[in-house]
Amino acid sequence: MNERTLYTTRFALMGGAAVVRFIDDRGQRHAETIARAAENEAFRIERKFSRFREESVVSEIARNAGRAPVAVDDETVALVEAALDLARLTGGRFDPTVGVLRRAWNFRAPRVPDDDELAALLPLVNHGAVSVRDGTVFLEREGMELDLGGVGKEYAVDRAADVLRAHGVTSALLNFAGDVRTIGGRGDGRPWSIGVADPRAPGQCRFAVRLIGGAGVATSGDYERCFVKDGVRYHHLLDATTGRPAQGVMSATVVAASAFLAGRIATAAFLLGPRDGLALIEGMPSVEGCLIDATGAISATEGMGRISNLPGSLYAAYSAL
């Protein structure tokens, strides 16, 4: 039997960096086959669901907005319904039709759209006008768009993890631009350690989430696609009810059984604000998390310390890092 070896593969995905690390004992060639299979599955998800690709299913749905329903497969139905569920969970603060607001917001340039500009686009932001019926998806108003970016990357990391497991991998860590999925344990008896960025200190971690086994970890933050103008931070996590960046939270981190679930709840918690966001996490079974509010204060669910395997209280563990 070959020695157990840690393999790492890196690739660009959905505008960010993806890293897959896994342990295998079947040799370099077999490991390369596994790595390519995981990458290919991630690329498949990107090609299929990216609104930036003309050939994607969401682009086809947008081209037919206001005209005709588009026949889709079960996978697409499941993702669209997950996005619509998240919209209902947040009272419309999250909305999978919010992508049209990119016509007003460009976070590579420090420009703040005025009220009239947003008012002209907001009628096209309406999850209630997304119809999913009999294997079809229909945007009821011409000019509407579907954006699955709020759920797609987390789904991709889970699907890539499924591919690794199907190839017999029992220990792995996948990180798709901050959305993480672990498989099994590290293999050396130590916990996985996933650093969470300090929202106001680029390149530094505010704390680490430590996990014994497999789980998903996702963070929604105001510090990646953003700009500061006149002392105000503007970021890409838009409240769909206003068309403007959500306020009150710097970052929301969630631990759940899958990255897909963790990502959705992290996004929802961020948009709902520190009090309601934490209450949402606390009300979800087998989900834990913490929020950093606009003042920099951390609030966390009671079980976060246990899930994270952190010594002592959560706050003591944070301050020790």
Helix (H, G, I), strand (E, B), or coil: what is residue 64?
coil
Higher per-residue confidence, 100 vs 4? 100
Q: Where are the domains of the chain?
A: 1-51+149-177, 57-147, 191-320
So what's the pLDDT on residue 305? 65
For residues 219-236, give the mean pLDDT. Answer: 94
293, β-bridge pairs: 249
Return the CATH number of the domain spanning residue range 191-320: 3.10.520.10
Helix (H, G, I), strand (E, B), or coil: what is residue 225?
coil
So what's the pLDDT on residue 239? 98
Token pair belonging to 270: 């961020």
So what's the pLDDT on residue 318? 35
Return the CATH number of the domain spanning residue range 1-51+149-177: 3.10.520.10
Indicate whether 64 pLDDT > 50: yes
Same topology for domains 57-147 and 191-320, yes or no?
A: no
Q: Place 271 in a pLDDT band, splitting at 50, 70 and 90.
A: very high
Superfamily in which the 57-147 domain is placed by CATH:
ApbE-like superfamily (1.10.3980.10)
Least reliable range by pLDDT among 40-54, 66-80, 192-206, 247-261: 192-206
Helix (H, G, I), strand (E, B), or coil: what is residue 205?
strand
Q: Place 308 in a pLDDT band, splitting at 50, 70 and 90.
A: low
pLDDT tens string 133-184: 999 999 999 999 999 987 899 999 999 999 999 999 999 999 999 999 999 9
So what's the pLDDT on residue 306? 59
**What is the C-alpha to C-alpha distance for residues 92 and 240, in angstroms, rounded to an integer?**
6
So what's the pLDDT on residue 187? 82
Q: How many CB atoms lie within 10 A of CB 196?
A: 21
